[in-house]
Structure 1
Amino acid sequence: MIVWWLLGVVFAISCGLTLVLRRYALAKSLMDIPNERSSHSVPTPRGGGVAIVAACSVALPVLGGMGYLEGASLLGVLGGGLLVAIIGFADDHGHIDAKWRLLGHFIAAAWALYWLNGLAPIQLFGERVDLSVIGSVLAAFYLVWMLNLYNFMDGIDGLASAEAISACLGMCLVYWWFDATSLIWGPLVLIGAVAGFLCWNFPPARIFMGDAGSGFLGFILGALALESAWVRPELFWCWIILLGVFIVDATWTLMRRLLRGEKVYQAHRSHAYQHASRRYQSHLVVTLLVVLINLVWLLPIALLVGAGWLGGGAGCLIAFVPLAMLAWKFQAGVAG
């Protein structure tokens, strides 16, 4: 019962601190000013994602002290996430050159992988694959990509928050259904922390997440997926499937821009979700559609993979092909 009260406290801390951060941003003129690359039209305070970081930083160690989280995974996941958040916070308040941000991101990934013992053996099309050191290198790139793609996808009101909540809810169901409840507490804390922030970020948003919050979220979600693979290899694929909307949109957009020779580190508004928000003239509609896709399409596939009725590679293929078609339909990667 104490644990469930703690989750309520996490929500309250996040919600209250977001209000404080909003007032701080207004006082210090930390505003996201609309420009030709923006998906919003009104100057809006930024940096509210720090509330998510703070709430998680309070709750996760408490759960660790109560024996609900392993110390090694807590050090790796939260420690790496905090480093990413610090880098993002500094960038929100000034500017850090892209190469130094990237170096910091890889250091955070290496830290997390050290404590998580690298990449666990995975099931790929029915075969158990242990990539050893190569796997850890790939896992580092995966973590860096996850935190950056989450930053790329945090471009309209409520979307990054709704994606995190729906993906974590889906994984809590997967963990419960397939008797992996020891892993459930990390996603539950994220749900509480992000839900508190969403009270202020729900369309029309009164504050934006900022790089500190989006990078932290992407890193933590990616690290939780790697942690779950040590319990059951199928669980890693369940995470990837549930995060499919963000993975496909960001990856498709990046590849298309690379092929055209564009500077991919420059801000733009050519993601599929950005085109969709302009087509429907609504951030809320797109955010709710993404949640619907997660719950109606991706969650059932994740459950089939978790049950072992469908392989992880096949599950990703089935899940991602329609998402790729949507990315093509909404012209992901095409300047808008």
Structure 2
Amino acid sequence: AAAAWILAWMGGLAPLSLFGWDLDLGWVGGVLAAVYLVWLLNLYNFMDGIDGIASIEAITACLSGALLYWLSGLNGPAILPLLMAAAVGGFLFWNFPPAKIFMGDAGSGFIGIVLGGLSLQAAWVSPPMFWCWLILLGVFIVDATYTLIRRLLRGDKVYEAHRSHAYQFASRKYGKHLPVTLAVAALNLCWLLPVAYCVAQLGLDGALGVVIAYVPLVALAVRYHAGDLEDRH
């Protein structure tokens, strides 16, 4: 229902530029966008499993998105991600490892669908910015999607709780949440933001930018056994 309301409010999915082709998917795009929003809502919930990680992801993605808007001369659209970053920043004070409070399903689901809405809004404001948001959210998108695909192929009951995401294996390997949370921040700011900058400012094709950004993230998911059975590690 929330996904449908967001799409109705913004007029559906904007035309997208894909490898140099302009695509207007019409009602099919609306259906795909609804699935995208519902998936982001759920994957953000899945990825909120260690102290600070969901907060850090939201803050770094929103600040990066606002920066790219500002560099593109789009000051108005930068306000919403700045507000989101400020709100989550206040929460992070209590959620930073070792956390004293947690988001829960309501908090993580809300952030997930709002970030999805911001990315779809970006497509109407400036088509390359949609791809920039996909790049900036890459850590969560890749880990959650890769894990889900592996569990589906294995025949797992994907609606049941599990601890087989890459970030969960990594936190158990290092025995702490903090190194993994800080690593997500570093990936977002030192890898994903520069690739998104190339899309927004230097003319790199958006879809190609997503591919370039995601390849190392998939390698990390493989490295940390995303989707493996929990008792193997």
Q: TM-score, normalised by structure 1?
A: 0.68
1:120 aligns with 2:120: no
Candidates 117, 137, 142, aligned match of 1:223: 117
Aligned to 2:84: 190
1:334 aligns with 2:228: yes
Q: How far 1:335 moved relative to its partner?
A: 2.1
For each residue in 1:207-235, what CA deviation from the matched residue of structure 2 results, as whole angstroms up to 9, or x when unmatched? Answer: 11100100000000000010111011100
Aligned to 1:304: 198
Aligned to 2:139: 245
Structure showing greater radius of gyration is 1
Map 1:280-319 to 2 at 5 A.
280-319=174-213
Q: State the alpha-carbon separation in 2 of the partners of residues 244 and 322 from structure 1.
A: 10
Candidates 306, 314, 320, aligned match of 2:214: 320
CA RMSD of aligned residues (A): 0.6
Q: State the alpha-carbon separation in 1 of the partners of residues 15 and 150 from structure 2.
A: 31
SS where residue 182 of structure 1 aligns? coil
Q: State the alpha-carbon separation in 1 of the partners of residues 64 and 117 from structure 2.
A: 16
Candidates 45, 67, 70, aligned match of 1:151: 45
Is contact 1:234-1:308 (8 Å) kept? no
Q: State the alpha-carbon separation in 1 of the partners of residues 62 and 9 from structure 2.
A: 22
SS where residue 206 of structure 1 aligns? coil
Aligned to 1:265: 159
SS where residue 183 of structure 1 aligns? coil
Is contact 1:201-1:207 (8 Å) kept? yes
Q: State the alpha-carbon separation in 1 of the partners of residues 123 and 184 from structure 2.
A: 25
Is contact 1:268-1:335 (8 Å) kept? no
Moved over 2 A (4+): none
Candidates 148, 155, 169, aligned match of 1:275: 169
Q: How far 1:108 moved relative to its partner?
A: 1.0
1:207 aligns with 2:85: no
User: Aligned AA for 2:109?
Assistant: G
Q: State the alpha-carbon separation in 1 of the partners of residues 188 and 28 from structure 2.
A: 31
Q: State the alpha-carbon separation in 2 of the partners of residues 181 and 154 from structure 1.
A: 30
Aligned to 1:136: 30
SS where residue 192 of structure 1 aligns? helix
Residue segments in structure 1 that go unaligned for 5+ positions in a row? 1-106
Aligned to 1:20: none
1:235 aligns with 2:129: yes
Aligned to 1:27: none
SS where residue 185 of structure 2 aligns? helix
Is contact 1:120-1:130 (8 Å) kept? yes
SS where residue 162 of structure 2 aligns? coil
User: Aligned AA for 2:130?
Assistant: F
SS where residue 180 of structure 1 aligns? coil
Among all aligned residue pairs of Structure 1 and Structure 2, give the percentage whose two residues are the same amino acid: 62
